[in-house]
Amino acid sequence: MRTITFNELRRIKDSLPTGSMHRIADELGLNVDTVRNFFGGHNFKEGKSVGIHLEPGPDGGLVMLDDTTVLDRALKILDEMNANAEPVRA
């Protein structure tokens, strides 16, 4: 189990490149709406709940994650982006 703030979870989601929700869904064999629900979406007609528990509080509250697989995949994508980014030249 891992605990992060809801706002941090949203910052991670918002930092992902276009198409990442579909990429994560494809790589993990999930419905794309299930991946979106992990990041705070509410489409339970198409997607499923993914084992997140919300507790009210500062910074959007706390999110307790039963399974960090989706988060781990998102962080891997962000790492790939940073590794492929060209260095900033002064």
Instruction: Report the predicted TM-score, pTM, of the whole model to 2 decimal places.
Output: 0.80
Average pLDDT for 5-21: 94
What whole-number distance in Å separates Cα of residue 6 and Cα of residue 63? 6
44 token code pair: 């339970």
Bridge partners, residue 2, by sequence = 65
Residues 6+ positions from 16 with CB-CB distance below 8 Å? 74, 77, 78
List the one residue out of 38, 43, 10, 3 whose CA is nearest residue 24. Answer: 38
82 pLDDT above the threshold of 70: yes
pLDDT: which is higher, 44 or 83: 83
Of the pLDDT bands very low, low, confident and very high (cuts 50, 70, 90), residue 89 is: low
pLDDT: which is higher, 75 or 60: 75
Which letter does DSSP use for residue 86 in this model? P
Of the pLDDT bands very low, low, confident and very high (cuts 50, 70, 90), residue 38 is: confident
Average pLDDT for 20-47: 83
Contact, 1 vs 67, CB < 8 A?
no
For the chain, which residues make up each domain, given as ranges?
A: 2-84
Of the pLDDT bands very low, low, confident and very high (cuts 50, 70, 90), residue 87 is: low
DSSP 52-82: EEEE--GGG-EEEES--HHHHHHHHHHHHHH
